[in-house]
Chain A
């Protein structure tokens, strides 16, 4: 860039020892950086506080949870709540729920990314009749009030045999949940991925065509690495939303062997008796672990990828 070229002669002229002005500038920059870091840490502390409270409560003995003076970090941590949360007598079905959640969310993420990506490419790179309508449809679905659709949707799924009340393969209900999640998450994924795909410069695509390969094929080969970060960012959103999905999952899945973690969690507050808050906090902490793991696995891709492919103005 031009500015870098201009800087060269100047640096060539200056001697090896940095001038006082440069030192001052560097020190000011470091001080500024340190100030920003401090602010960043303060923001972190405030934002994450409720999560910290949840995790800290999971380790507190019961008496500290209900006491009038709040305890920040307990001095007598206990693992009882975690034990209770996973106890098959008190809260049966934990591991089944883990398996079901992973299966449902895993399939949903993969399918939604694949299907949405194809549609996004079509929307971004092709002119075809109905294109605008399709885009409007996508955002229209995002605007639908979900609560009104629960019962009619259940009726549809029941007709296809995709709910829990049908005898055969218990996978039916899980499949029913997956297609429901897809129906609601695909519009968002298409919308977002379209933005990322739109950001890929035309020149790259045209360069690929000269190569002698088919337009779409080469395009995809070039496009994928550039859009991969966008795919990752979208997949995180889909993952988290599917993971926390409750309304539809609750209606579609009835038998305990089919429950997802979110439904399993709702049983902690669903009895007519008291709620074991410590165990609930422990259980919530447990349900957050897979999400964190997923994030850690893909976050490196994000850092790079979020920097490329967003919509250009």
Chain B
């Protein structure tokens, strides 16, 4: 009967499905398409900049096409790993600055030291450092964002705060005034999540402390238990207790500070500049200022979050760098700046709050296992212990330092 034919047909169908796709070159994308992986922030934020760079590249390299594929944070590294294993990694990839070191150390990128890029001599050091490994350049700074204070102009006025604080002491005093005027339960004059280590480490950096340093043999030593860092942590605890009613063990995503703010639960919050997007009904009464240092007149060093552009191995280096050059030239940087970002060069730094905050910044240790420290929540655990008084500051810092050193020194 026709069943055997049917079975044979099914076999053919299964083969056909695979054949459909296999009709083409195996191995990497063909010689005239440049594959670029950018994060989806570019697609929603500045698609025109991408389009302009692509057009410029195409006009300079006739016959070449550019395929920009937008990725999401959180999944793009897993996908990158898969393409590295499969031998078809993209030609240009956007990497978070904290993600760079691990991949540079593993040999995932091509050495760009010989190539030249726009504004290379005035690159923002915070970003440029994340693209360097053992003296060679692997990453081109793309853009950055710093941390600022977003605040309620109306509440500040109501509480009689005439001038924006320019020192930590002034800010603490302002917080007390705000607390006196807004007695609602759980109202935070300054909303800071208990385990928000970005804010806490800013305090540490403000007092000259560091998270970890490399000794002469290349090994890592945790330095949170040194006096300067301890001073910073103490200042953080003091400020938190005076100004924030957030849970001492919660992180800075649950709840989102801007959600608390838009509900009227906070008079100010510390976070990236784009926080002002999501303040609900308080849009008109919201402003920003630079987080003050404990030294009057200085900004507190802010965590410089940002992205670099790298060229994975196996890519056409010349074409890839050509595209990167088109994407990071002055025109692009001007456009990025207009969208509220910090450009990659100090020569274009203006005086917006975001940019002024970036003049003093700190960065995480450029160790290939730093990501493991973050994933292991070592800093968060330390902060929770400090704020809930489960351990003294010194004890918690010692434990954390040991853990950090252990993690960073893994093979």
Contacts and interface: CB of A to CB of B under 8 A. Distances in A.
A175 B18 CA distance: 6
B70 interface: yes
A207 to B, nearest CB: 17
A254 B86 CA distance: 14
A92 interface: yes
Given A169-B21, A255-B69, A272 B280 contact: no
B319 to A, nearest CB: 15
B40 A267 contact: yes
B180 interface: no
Interface stretch (A20-28, A160-168, A284-292, A305-313): A160-168
Contacts of A220: 3
Contact of B30 (A167, A271, A273): A167
A267 B35 CA distance: 20
Contact of B278 (A171, A179, A274): A274
A62 B74 CA distance: 25
Contact of A161 (B21, B75, B258): B21
B195 to A, nearest CB: 19
Interface string A62-78: 11001110000000000
B75 A266 contact: yes
Contacts of B41: 271-273
A273 B277 contact: yes
Interface stretch (B6-14, B345-353, B390-398): B6-14
Interface in A168-210: 168-169, 171-176, 178-179, 182
Contact of A158 (B71, B79, B88, B277): B88
A50 interface: no
B338 interface: no
Nearest to A91: B44
B75 A169 contact: no
At the interface, is chain A mostly helix, strand, loop or mixed? helix
Given A254-B69, A274-B256, A165 B274 contact: no
Chain B, interface residues (CB within 8 Å), range: 35 or more
B299 to A, nearest CB: 22
A240 interface: no
A256 interface: yes
A273 B22 CA distance: 38
A45 interface: no
B268 to A, nearest CB: 18
B18 A90 contact: no
A115 interface: yes
A16 interface: no
Given A160-B21, A256-B70, A271-B41, A250 B79 contact: yes
A256 B69 contact: yes
Interface in A216-257: 216-217, 220, 250-251, 254-256
Nearest to B255: A66
Interface stretch (A34-42, A94-102, A132-140, A148-156): A148-156
Interface of B: 1-3, 6-7, 10, 13-14, 17-18, 20-26, 28-30, 33, 35, 37, 39-41, 43-44, 67, 69-75, 78-79, 81-83, 85-90, 256, 258-259, 262-263, 274, 277-278, 280-281, 305
5 contacts: A213-B1, A251-B78, A254-B37, A272-B39, A274-B258
